[in-house]
């Protein structure tokens, strides 16, 4: 089976498994509930006095920190636990095609979850005149951020057959990516290191690049950064799978 059709076939298989069980629907409900609570309650949406989704985008990296690994932890761990790992890899697809198919299916599912937050967007447009260009850029940043988290989770899922272990390792790694560029951490580092070193370290953190999108800037450096994180994590996944396949 050639490249693109094989990837599509794997992606359709994965999406069918998502929506063939109540897990996907439960996740979507939990995500929307938590997003609403963090945006309108903890984010003090109605007290800000402005038509903006800043409160939503402020909480998204932290909300994704736990919910995105919950999506991706089953990618390979479940295949190994159920004994279908070998069956999948004996199909006429390469390891790379299987990885991309699984990853893109999860990323599309995450895109659906983000799209279902459209009532938030309608709300701010009903209440005032927000800068919709900023909101679109921030949504792009959310999707790229979620893709990076998913790729990391895909990698950790290939390490073990235990989904909980894959989840915990993914959360720890994604948290490290957050903390590297988190303002309180960089401020503390600035007391002991030069500004150039602080900037260099912060450049490896997801928050440094996500904040640009949240401000409405479609920064090419941010796109390259998230693409690099995704590519590196999927490359490591492929190396693990090929090693187990041999």
Domain region containing 66: 3-245
Give Cα separations from 166 to 6, 75, 161 (angstroms).
Answer: 26, 10, 8
Six-digit token string for 218: 């479609």
Longest Cα–Cα distance in the chain: 60
C-beta contacts of 175-182 below 8 A and 24+ residues apart = 175/65, 177/148, 177/152, 177/204, 177/205, 177/206, 177/229, 178/61, 178/62, 178/65, 178/205, 178/206, 178/207, 179/205, 180/204, 180/205, 180/206, 180/207, 181/205, 181/206, 181/207, 181/208, 181/209, 182/207
pTM: 0.89
**Alpha-carbon span 152 to 64, nearest angstrom:** 12
pLDDT for 88: 64
| 121-136 tens-digit pLDDT | 998 888 878 888 999 9
> Where does residue 26 rank: exposed (0-12), middle (13-18), buried (19+ CB within 10 A)?
exposed
**Angle (deg, nearest 10), helices 118-127 and 132-159:** 160
Six-digit token string for 187: 């401020």
pLDDT for 48: 63
| 86-120 tens-digit pLDDT | 666 666 777 788 889 999 999 999 999 999 999 98
Residues in the chain with pLDDT values less than 50 = none
Q: Name the residue with tokens 């995500």.
A: 31
Q: Could you tell me which residues come within 8 angstroms of residue 216 by beta carbon, excluding any fewer than 6 positions away? A: 131, 133, 134, 137, 138
pLDDT for 46: 63
pLDDT for 170: 95
Six-digit token string for 82: 């159920």
Terminal alpha carbon distance of the chain:
20
| Number of domain units in the chain | 1
Six-digit token string for 83: 């004994």
pLDDT for 17: 81
How many other CB atoms sit within 10 Å of the CB of residue 53? Answer: 24
pLDDT for 158: 87
């Amino acid at each position: 089976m050639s490249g693109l059709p094989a990837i599509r076939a794997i992606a359709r298989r994965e999406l069918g498994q998502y929506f063939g069980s109540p897990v996907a629907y439960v996740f979507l409900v939990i995500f929307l509930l938590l997003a609403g609570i963090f945006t309108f309650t903890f984010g003090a949406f109605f007290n800000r006095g402005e038509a903006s989704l800043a409160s939503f985008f402020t909480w998204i990296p932290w909300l994704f920190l736990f919910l995105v690994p919950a999506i991706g932890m089953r990618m390979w761990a479940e295949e190994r636990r159920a004994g279908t790992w070998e069956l999948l890899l004996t199909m006429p697809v390469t390891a790379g095609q299987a990885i991309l198919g699984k990853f893109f299916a999860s990323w599309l599912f995450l895109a659906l979850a983000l799209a279902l937050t459209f009532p938030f967007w309608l709300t701010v447009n009903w209440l005032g005149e927000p800068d919709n260009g900023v909101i679109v850029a921030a949504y792009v940043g959310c999707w790229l951020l979620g893709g990076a988290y998913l790729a990391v989770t895909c990698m950790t899922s290939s390490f073990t057959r235990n989904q909980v272990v894959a989840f915990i390792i993914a959360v720890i790694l994604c948290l490290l990516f957050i903390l590297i560029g988190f303002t309180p951490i960089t401020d503390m580092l600035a007391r002991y290191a030069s500004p150039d070193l602080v900037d260099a370290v912060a450049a490896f953190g997801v928050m440094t690049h996500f904040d640009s999108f949240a401000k409405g800037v479609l920064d090419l450096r941010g796109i390259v950064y998230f693409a690099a994180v995704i590519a590196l994590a999927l490359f490591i996944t492929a190396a693990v799978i090929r090693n187990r396949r041999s």
